[in-house]
Structure 1
């Protein structure tokens, strides 16, 4: 895939003039990361954003007390690192390559120039950020209900991401119990118990490395029964 084609597929450059694409093509730098390699580091200065053109990255944040919390995964053609670029601040999270990742790096100065010249790019950026806020609001509601609702939100959200990214077998989520614990902030015992319940209801199937969704629609409305409780 050429850099111009990669830019066309990015949500940041949807329906923009060819001139804007060519301006971006002239200034982006291609970077490659191996699985497990750090792309961005929390609390470090942020001078550029990354347009993922292939692969998957995981976003995580270290909170007070040095507790890691996984915020989500980003599939190509996603964007990471734009928050620090916009706010002229330090990185708010760490981004790690889950698979081999190829990305186009766009520095702040070049990005600001493109935004000023092509308002459609700014509109796309606003749409991206609005979607993230909406997703965060839904997540806060689900996480505030119970573990089953939290898992349902995480699983179905990841499934939809994989569908949009054109991933083969999007229902087979690459999540271990430890991954889920970091994602929803629950104990291993709580996660295992709720997974057994959902599995017993025929909603999913689990292995040590994957969660396979069997009934996405039912998971979207999952809640704990009245006689169940979280730890």
Structure 2
């Protein structure tokens, strides 16, 4: 059963009058996806916005050359599919459940009515999109420096997302060398070599199918140092 609290703590409804949150709730549908199921498929027409209430999803994209790139993991609470929900554009990425996830779905026509009556929702959505652009710029800057900088940035971002989501042991990143190669658009050998270099520096520890962050501050410092070279 949907509750007001399922929406009121979302960044999308921050500062929105309770009547506006209730209006959004009335047009929401609750959907649950098991681990491995696709919530959003790249290039499909988008008609809804998803509020991730529990669980973790992975965002990935297939390039024009057919290569898969992992864009990142999102932890609840999070907003998914906001770009396509605002217009008629196709989905830009695929979103897959890494574990069972619970979502609230708000379709475009109802979302438009809510935003028309309560413009604060539109403002919050604009802030969310601005934050996503800033994150993308950070990733592009890191990619322009070196693959090692991209790895440091990717590991740091995942740690901060887990910390913000209050995940158990946020420093224990559930990510494999293969996952990292997909995030960096590099070979598995390159990803493993760079990860070993970070381990030698005492910044991380490589574990089976996971990476333990030993020194997050040092990881961020390394990123700045690489940018100055």
- TM score, norm. by length of structure 2: 0.95
Tell me: CA distance 1:128–1:192, structure 2 relative to 1, closer, same or farther (3 Å). Answer: same
What's the counterpart of residue 106 of structure 1? 106
The answer on whether the counterparts of 1:152 and 1:221 sit within 8 Å (CA) in structure 2 is no
Measured in 1, the distance between the counterparts of 2:106 and 2:143 equals 34
RMSD: 1.6
Deviation sequence 1:108-152 (CA, Å, 0-9, x none): 000001111111111110110111111111110111111221111
1:225 to partner: Cα distance: 9.2
Contact 2:2 2:30 survives alignment (8 Å): no
> In 1, distance between residues paired with 2:107 and 2:68?
28
Partner of 1:124: 124
CA distance in 1, matches of 2:160, 2:220: 11
Instruction: Give the Cα separation in 2 of the matches to 1:188 and 1:105.
Output: 36
User: Which whole-Å CA distance do the structure 2 matches of 1:89 and 1:78 have between them?
Assistant: 21
Task: Report the equivalent of 1:229.
Answer: none
Unmatched tracts of structure 1, length 5 or more: 227-231
Equivalent residue, structure 2, for 1:39: 39
Matches within 5 A, 1:173-184: 173-184=173-184
Secondary structure, aligned partner of 1:221: helix
In structure 2, the partner of 1:72 is 72
Alignment-derived partner of residue 94 in structure 2: 94
CA distance in 1, matches of 2:21, 2:50: 15
Matches within 5 A, 1:69-218: 69-218=69-218
1:79 Cα deviation from its structure 2 partner: 0.8
Which piece of structure 1 moves more, 28-37 or 198-207? 198-207
Unmatched 5+ residue regions in structure 2? none
4+ residue segments displaced more than 3 Å: 223-226
Whether the 8 Å CA contact 2:20–2:118 is kept in 1: the answer is: yes
**1:146–1:224 CA contact under 8 A, matched in 2:** no
1:51-66 equivalences in 2 (<5 Å): 51-66=51-66
* Residues 224 and 107 of structure 1: CA distance in aligned 2, closer, same or farther (over 3 Å): closer
